[in-house]
């Protein structure tokens, strides 16, 4: 496979791309990997390119939008 674009892949191929990219999502102990897998559902469904999903994620991460509130550490 030369391209991972939606127009060049089937749904099954996109599922495989996401699964191989994330590795063993059931092996995570804190549960965050399952959320990460859900983040790519629009790509698997053919609604949004993987590049766009990654750019949106990075924009939220850098800006802090929709992020958790920081709490003061009680052990200082």
Structural domains of the chain, count: 1
Predicted pLDDT at 3: 95
What does pTM read for this prediction? 0.65
**46 domain-assigned:** yes
Between vectors from CA 52 to CA 57 and to CA 58, what angle results, nearest 5°? Answer: 20
**70 domain-assigned:** no
Q: Which of 5-9, 11-15, 54-58 has the lowest mean pLDDT?
A: 54-58
- Give the range of the structural domain holding residue 50, as residue numbers without chain letter: 6-63
Predicted pLDDT at 58: 81
Q: Report DSSP state, residue 31.
A: S
**48 domain-assigned:** yes
Computed over every residue of the chain, the mean pLDDT equals 77
Per residue in 17-46, pLDDT tens? 998 888 765 554 555 556 677 889 999 999
**33 domain-assigned:** yes
The answer to whether 36 and 22 have CB atoms below 8 angstroms apart is yes
**71 domain-assigned:** no
**43 domain-assigned:** yes
């Amino acid at each position: 496979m030369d391209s991972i674009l939606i127009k060049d892949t089937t749904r099954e191929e996109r599922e495989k791309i996401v699964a191989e990219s994330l590795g063993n999502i059931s092996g995570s102990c804190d549960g965050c990997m399952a959320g990460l897998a859900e983040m790519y559902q629009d790509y698997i469904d053919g609604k949004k390119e993987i590049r766009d999903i990654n750019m949106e994620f990075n924009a939220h991460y850098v800006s802090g939008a929709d992020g958790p509130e920081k709490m003061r550490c009680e052990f200082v």
